[in-house]
Amino acid sequence: MLRTWRYFLPLAIFFGLLWFLYTGLSLNPREIPSALINKPTPIFALAQLHSPEKKLGNADMKGKVWLLNVWGSWCVSCRYEHPFLNELSKAQVLPIIGLNWKDKPEDAKAWLAKFGDPYTASVSDLDGRTAIDFGVYGAPETFVIDATGMIRYKHTGPIDATVLSEKLLPVIRELKKS
Amino acid sequence: MKAIARIFLANAIPGAEFGAFVAWKARQCLTFILIACAFAAHAQTPTPEMAPMSPELEVRLKKLETELRCLVCQNQTLAESPAGLAGDLRREIRLLADQNKSNEEIKEHLRARYGDFVLYRPPVDGKTWLLWFGPFFLLIGGAILLWIMNRRRNAMMQTVAPVDADALQRANAILKDE
Q: Residue A146 above 70 pLDDT?
A: yes
Average pLDDT, chain A: 92
Q: Residue B154 above 60 pLDDT?
A: yes
Of the listed ranges A6-10, A72-76, A118-122, the least confidently predicted one is A6-10
Q: Where do the structural domains in chain B lie, given as residue ranges? A: 2-43, 55-118, 124-160
Most confident option among A16-30, A142-156, B59-73? A142-156
Average pLDDT (B42-50) is 49
Using a CB-CB distance cutoff of 8 angstroms, which residues of chain B are in contact with residue A74? Answer: 42-43, 45
- For the segment A17-75, what is each residue's pLDDT rounded down to a tens digit? 999 999 888 887 777 778 899 999 999 999 999 999 999 999 999 999 999 999 999 99
Average pLDDT (A89-105) is 95
User: What pLDDT does residue B37 have?
Assistant: 46
Report CA torsion sign: B96, B100, B105, B106: positive
User: What pLDDT does residue B23 have?
Assistant: 58
Q: Residue B2 above 60 pLDDT?
A: no
CB within 8 Å: B85 and A135: no
Average pLDDT (B149-166) is 83
Residue B73 pLDDT class (50, 70, 90 cuts)? confident
* CATH number 1.10.8.640 given to B55-118: yes
User: What pLDDT does residue B83 have?
Assistant: 85
User: What pLDDT does residue B164 have?
Assistant: 83
Q: Where do the structural domains in chain A lie, given as residue ranges? A: 30-177
- For the segment B102-127, what is each residue's pLDDT rounded down to a tens digit? 999 999 999 999 988 899 888 888 87
CB within 8 Å: A29 and B40: no
**Mind telling me how many Å the CA of B99 is from chain A's nearest CA?**
16
Using a CB-CB distance cutoff of 8 angstroms, which residues of chain A are in contact with residue B74? Answer: 29-30
* CATH superfamily label, A30-177: Glutaredoxin (3.40.30.10)
Please give the full DSSP string across chain B, using - where no structure is assigned: -HHHHHHHHHHHSTT--HHHHHHHHHHHHHHHHHHHHHHHHHT--PPPP-----HHHHHHHHHHHTTBB-SSSTTSBTTT--SHHHHHHHHHHHHHHHTT--HHHHHHHHHHHH-GGGBSS---STTTHHHHHHHHHHHHHHHHHHHHHHHHHHHHHHHSPPPPHHHHHHHHHHHHH-
**Mind telling me how many Å the CA of B70 is from chain A's nearest CA?**
9
- For the segment B26-39, what is each residue's pLDDT rounded down to a tens digit? 666 555 555 554 44
Using a CB-CB distance cutoff of 8 angstroms, which residues of chain B are in contact with residue A84? Answer: none
Residue A165 pLDDT class (50, 70, 90 cuts)? very high
Q: Residue B8 above 60 pLDDT?
A: no
Average pLDDT, chain B: 77
Burial degree of A174 (CB within 10 A; 0-12, 13-18, 19+): middle
Q: Residue A102 above 90 pLDDT?
A: yes
User: What pLDDT does residue A44 have?
Assistant: 96
Q: Which residue on chain B is closest to A128 by alpha carbon?
A: B88
Beta strands in A45-140 (DSSP E): 45-47, 55-57, 66-71, 96-101, 121-125
Q: Which of B2, B32, B115 sits opposite A35 (nearest CB)?
A: B115
Q: Residue B19 above 50 pLDDT?
A: yes
Q: Which of B32, B42, B71 sits opposite A137 (nearest CB)?
A: B71
Chain A residues touching chain B at CB-CB below 8 Å: 25-26, 28-30, 32-36, 42, 74-77, 102, 127-129, 131-135, 137-139, 160
Interface probe for A, chosen from B21, B24, B42 (most Cβ of A below 10 Å), is: B42
Percent of chain A with pLDDT over 70: 99
CA separation for the pair A69, A19 (Å, rounded): 36
CA separation for the pair A168, A80 (Å, rounded): 17
CB within 8 Å: A138 and B39: yes
Q: Does B84 touch chain A (CB under 8 A)?
A: yes
Using a CB-CB distance cutoff of 8 angstroms, which residues of chain B are in contact with residue A28? Answer: 32
Is the pTM value of this prediction over 0.80? no
The residues near B14 (Cβ < 8 Å, ≥ 6 apart) are none
Q: Does B43 touch chain A (CB under 8 A)?
A: yes
Percent of chain A with pLDDT over 90: 84
Q: What is the dihedral of CA B110, B43, A143, A92, to 10 degrees?
A: 160
Residue B25 pLDDT class (50, 70, 90 cuts)? low
Q: Residue A3 above 80 pLDDT?
A: no
Q: Which of A32, A36, A75 sits opposite B71 (nearest CB)?
A: A32
User: What pLDDT does residue B11 have?
Assistant: 38
